[in-house]
Amino acid sequence: MPIGRVTQVVDCRESMGMGKGGGLAQRGTISECRHPDVIVVGMSPGRRHVTKPVCDITSALRREGVEFSVSTLVLNAGSGVPADAPKIAGSVLGAYFGLSAKEVSQIEQHKVAILHHGNVRSHVVEKVRFILAQADVKAVVVSQAPIDYEDLAKVGVKTAYVMPPEGAIRTKGTVVAIVGGVTRGQTPPREKLSEVIQAVMKEMKKSN
């Protein structure tokens, strides 16, 4: 019977940061664990750090004694909306959200992906659709904006509770849970972190 501490790896950078605050995660990086189980996919950060609550989620998974490895991927082009998203009247042109083939491969190595994409409802829905159209993975969506399974199904996203109309499915991956009310840039409340952990553990049990 083992006695003592159990070592787990939760890292949030692939390489050293640049400039002031060196060592913090940059855009376009991933931390890789020995056994890829769960990946937390975050938006592009500011100039030198991963946007909260991504690091809070990875730390919470470790703190709660979750017995699997957690990776963090900071997307290189995680801002804006996908180029194929419907244009919204009055929206401001800017960077397009995108994924590289390498990022898709990194996501698909894992059993569960936690997707965090900010506080604009239409952006969150389209980003989830774009990622899961390319990556075949079970996903837990974490957002500040209130969204539901119907919102995702309307744009062709497969979910565990509502499916798109016949012939309208546009994704390989499936959304298995949604955790709303998680504010970008702030540490999530304990109850929200618990919701994320419970959703991840439920899906991991299914895959084992």
Say whether 203 sits in a helix, a strand or coil.
helix
Domain of 193, CATH number, reads: 3.40.50
In a domain, 78, yes or no: yes
In a domain, 2, yes or no: no
What are the residues facing 141 on neighbouring strands?
115, 178
In a domain, 194, yes or no: yes
Distance CA 175, CA 149 (A): 8
Tell me how many domains the chain contains. 1
In a domain, 23, yes or no: no
In a domain, 167, yes or no: yes
In a domain, 12, yes or no: no
pLDDT beyond 80 at 5: no
For the chain, give the percent of residues with pLDDT over 70: 70
In a domain, 5, yes or no: no
pLDDT digits (tens, 9 = 90+) for 85-112: 886 544 545 667 878 898 899 899 899 9
For the chain, give the percent of residues with pLDDT over 90: 34
pLDDT digits (tens, 9 = 90+) for 19-63: 433 444 444 445 455 567 888 887 665 443 455 777 788 778 767
In a domain, 126, yes or no: yes
Residue 152: its pLDDT value, please? 97
Residue 84: its pLDDT value, please? 83
Distance CA 205, CA 108 (A): 18
Range of the domain at 196: 29-207
Distance CA 148, CA 140 (A): 12
What are the residues facing 175 on neighbouring strands?
139, 159
Give the CA count within 13 Å in the CB-facing half-sphere of 13. Answer: 14
Residue 174: its pLDDT value, please? 98
